[in-house]
Structure 1
Amino acid sequence: MSKLLFVCAFSAIISLSFGLSCTSPTVETVNTFTTQDATIVSQIAFITEFTLKCSNKASETSPLFADVDGKLSPVARIGTDKFQVSWTEETKKASRGEYVVRLFDEEGFAAVRKAQRSGADIASIPALAEVSVSHPGAFNGPYVNSEILAAGLSILVAYVAFSTKSKLLS
């Protein structure tokens, strides 16, 4: 009995160490959020939630990694087959448009890190899947601040009042 238990434990450890690679990945249910008001923040937040399903159920156990513009980060698991990627950019660097989030399993992550160390182009490494995040841009405030507008209007009202008073008295 102890030999059988040892063989089962050993085979479990070996299978976990090799890991499973996701086959036939499909991305579904993509929800995204980006900060759109940059008047009081210095960083724009990007968040995407998605469902990734593999034909061999590898997405249930294997970790995922995300690449956004050459920056790698781990992907957070928020449920069964449900994941979340989030990052921030400075308001001046965050341009409007599409951001592509490339997803990698452990093998792809190792290949990307190796390419980064050698200075090779990581765009040539095939991603497990890709998710797009659309950023419409952020509002940085009005062109004219309300304080300046109020000061200008009060000067205009004072000018009209004094000019009208001088016309009435003459």
Structure 2
Amino acid sequence: MFRLQLGVSVIFVVFTLTLGKQCVNPEVSATTFTTQDATVLTSIAYVSEFTLKCSNGAEKDRLPLYAEVNGVTLPTARIGPEGNGRYQVSWTEEISSAHTGDVPVHLYDEDGYATLRKLLRNNEDTSSAKPLVTIVVNHPGAYQGPWVNSEFMAVMLAALVWYLAFTAKSKLLA
């Protein structure tokens, strides 16, 4: 009889520990960064650092979060001391495929992420997987250098000076 009670107790404890705590009424505040100088880089970096607050305090229990950006799932990283609700998500894109404007970052808890993965695996519409919250990362674009190189401008200026000098000389000798 004792073994049965012990077995039931162990199963109950394991079941309780494996249940993910859900965040109720999430509030998020985020700061974002994107690479804005692409003169010597090959990729644009996107970084979003955010603080999550739940009305039930779920963020204090090491709440695992997952992000989805443009159909790609990404892990989030907890930063700082445990239980402060601070997270970070980052990714890179090639300069040629990076678009300017707002990039939505959908954040999911474990249940939402499981639903999202199932929908992606079955090639179904992912709109039924409701994100916990959505963060918007704004990418204003990246500077890729001047429209005209300075070497080209120097050659054009030298050609103009030569032309003006040649025509002035021709007028003096004529």
Assess same fold via TM > 0.5: yes
Contiguous gaps of at least 5 residues in structure 2 = 1-5
2-side partners of 1:154 and 1:132: how far apart?
49
Alpha-carbon separation, structure 2, partners of 1:124 and 1:150 = 59
Match of 1:117 in 2: 121
User: 1:100 aligned to 2:104?
Assistant: yes
- For the residues of structure 1 that align with 2:69 and 2:154, how far apart are their CA atoms? 44
Change (3 A) 1:12 1:168: farther
What is the TM-score when the length of structure 2 is the normalising length?
0.86
Question: In the alignment, what sits opposite 2:64?
Answer: 63
Mean Cα deviation higher: 54-63 or 84-93: 54-63
Structure-1 separation of matches of 2:141 and 2:63 = 34
For 2:135, the equivalent position in structure 1 comes to 131
Tell me how far apart the structure 2 counterparts of residues 108 and 48 of structure 1 sit (CA, whole Å): 20
Within 5 Å, give how 1:38-53 maps onto structure 2.
38-53=38-53
Paired position in structure 1 for 2:161: 157
Q: How many residues align?
A: 164
User: CA separation in 1, counterparts of 2:135 and 2:17?
Assistant: 27
Determine helix, strand or coil for the equivalent of 1:86: strand
- Secondary structure at the aligned position of 2:104 is classed as strand
1:22 aligns with 2:23: yes
Gaps of 5+ in 1: 1-5
Give the superposed CA RMSD: 2.0
TM-score (norm. length: structure 1): 0.88
Question: How far has the Cα of 1:12 moved from its partner?
Answer: 5.2
The CA deviation at 1:102 is 0.3
Task: Tell me how far apart the structure 2 counterparts of residues 110 and 25 of structure 1 sit (CA, whole Å).
Answer: 19
Identity of aligned residues (%): 48
Q: Distance in 1 between matches of 2:16 and 2:58?
A: 12
Moved more, 9-18 or 131-140: 9-18
* 1:139-160, Cα deviation, whole Å (9 max, x unpaired): 2222211111111111111111
1:149 aligned partner, one-letter code: M
Give the distance between the partners of 2:118 and 2:33, measured in 1 at CA. Answer: 31
Report the Cα distance in structure 2 between the residues aligned to 1:101 and 1:17, rounded to whole angstroms: 26
Alignment of 1:142 onto 2:146: yes
Residue in 1 that maps onto 2:34: 34
What is the letter of the counterpart of residue 123 of structure 1? S
- Give the aligned partner of residue 3 of structure 1: none
- Residue 84 of structure 1 aligns to a residue whose secondary structure is strand
Aligned to 1:111, the other structure's residue is in SS state helix
